[in-house]
Amino acid sequence: MASPKKHYTVIVVVVFVIISLTIFSLNFKSPERMSFFRKIVLEAVVPLEGAVDSAFSSVTGVWKRYVLLVGLERKNRDLETKIASLTRDASNYREMSLDCARLRKLMNIKNDFKLPTVAARVVGKNRSSVFKTVLINKGTADGIKTGFPVMGMGGVAGRIMETSRNASKILLLVDYNSNIDVLIQRNRCQGVLRGCGSFGCELKYVQRSEDVKTGDVVVSSGLAGVFPRGLLIGKVAAVEKEEAGLFQKITVHPAINITRLEEVLVILEEKEDNE
Here the CATH number for the domain that contains residue 138 is 2.40.10.350
52 part of a folded domain: no
163 part of a folded domain: yes
Burial class from Cβ neighbours inside 10 Å (0-12, 13-18, 19+) for residue 75 reads exposed
79 part of a folded domain: no
- What pLDDT, on the 0 to 100 scale, is given for residue 271? 43
| Alpha-carbon gap, residue 212 to 203, rounded angstroms | 11
Instruction: Answer whether 146's CB lies under 8 Å from 163's CB.
Output: yes
59 part of a folded domain: no
pLDDT tens track for 78-108: 787 777 777 776 766 676 666 666 556 666 6
Instruction: Answer whether 218's CB lies under 8 Å from 255's CB.
Output: no
26 part of a folded domain: no
List Cβ<8 Å contacts ≥24 apart for 203-209.
203/236, 203/250, 203/251, 203/252, 204/247, 204/250, 205/247, 206/247, 206/248, 206/250, 207/246, 207/247, 207/248, 208/241, 208/245, 208/246, 208/247, 208/248
pLDDT tens track for 25-39: 555 455 555 555 555
- What pLDDT, on the 0 to 100 scale, is given for residue 233? 93
Q: What residue numbers bound the domain in which 233 lies?
A: 117-270
107 part of a folded domain: no
22 part of a folded domain: no
Question: What string of DSSP letters covers 204-217?
Answer: ES-BTTS---TT-E
240 part of a folded domain: yes
Overall number of domains in the chain: 1
Instruction: Answer whether 229's CB lies under 8 Å from 190's CB.
Output: no
- What pLDDT, on the 0 to 100 scale, is given for residue 25? 54
The letter for the amino acid at 260 is R
- What pLDDT, on the 0 to 100 scale, is given for residue 35? 56
> What residue ranges of the chain have pLDDT lower than 70?
1-62, 64, 89, 91-93, 95-114, 127-130, 269-275
